[in-house]
Amino acid sequence: MRRAPYIEVFGHRGACALRPEHTLASYAKAIADGADYVEPDLVCTKDGVLVARHEDEISTTTDVAARPDFASRRTSKVIDGESFDGWFVSDFTLAELKTLRAKERIPEVRAANTAYDGQFQVPTFEEIIDFVAAQSATIGRVVGIIPELKNSTFFKSIGLPLEDRFVAILQAHEYTRRAPVEIQSFEVANLKYLRGKLGKRANVRIMQLSGDPRKSPADMVAAGGKTLWAEITSAAGLKEVAEYADVIAPNVQALIPRDVAGNLSQPTPVIRDAHAAGLLVHTWTFRPENRFLPTEFRNDAGDNARNAEGSIKEIRRYLEAGIDGFFADDPAVGRTALNVA
Distance of CA 246 to the CA centre of its chain: 16
Q: How many whole angstroms separate alpha carbon 271 and alpha carbon 214?
A: 19
Which H helix or E strand runs over 325?
strand 325-328
What pLDDT tens digit does each residue of the chain (341 aa) get? 556 678 999 999 999 999 999 999 999 999 999 999 999 999 999 999 999 999 999 999 999 999 999 999 999 999 999 999 999 999 999 999 999 999 999 999 999 999 999 999 999 999 999 999 999 999 999 999 999 999 999 999 999 999 999 999 999 999 999 999 999 999 999 999 999 999 999 999 999 999 999 999 999 999 999 999 999 999 999 999 999 999 999 999 999 999 999 999 999 999 999 999 999 999 999 999 999 999 999 999 999 999 999 999 999 999 999 999 999 999 999 999 999 85
CB-CB contact of 42 with 32 (8 Å): no
pTM assigned to the model: 0.97
CB-CB contact of 14 with 30 (8 Å): yes
Q: How far apart are the first and last CA of the chain?
A: 25
Half-sphere exposure of 134 (CA within 13 A, CB side): 9
Judge residue 14's burial from the number of C-beta atoms within 10 Å of its C-beta, 0-12 exposed, 13-18 middle, 19 or more buried: buried
Helix then strand then coil, in percent of the chain rounded to 5, is 40, 20, 45
Q: How many whole angstroms separate alpha carbon 37 and alpha carbon 204?
A: 13
Query: Please, what are the domains in the chain?
Result: 8-56+121-339 (3.20.20.190)
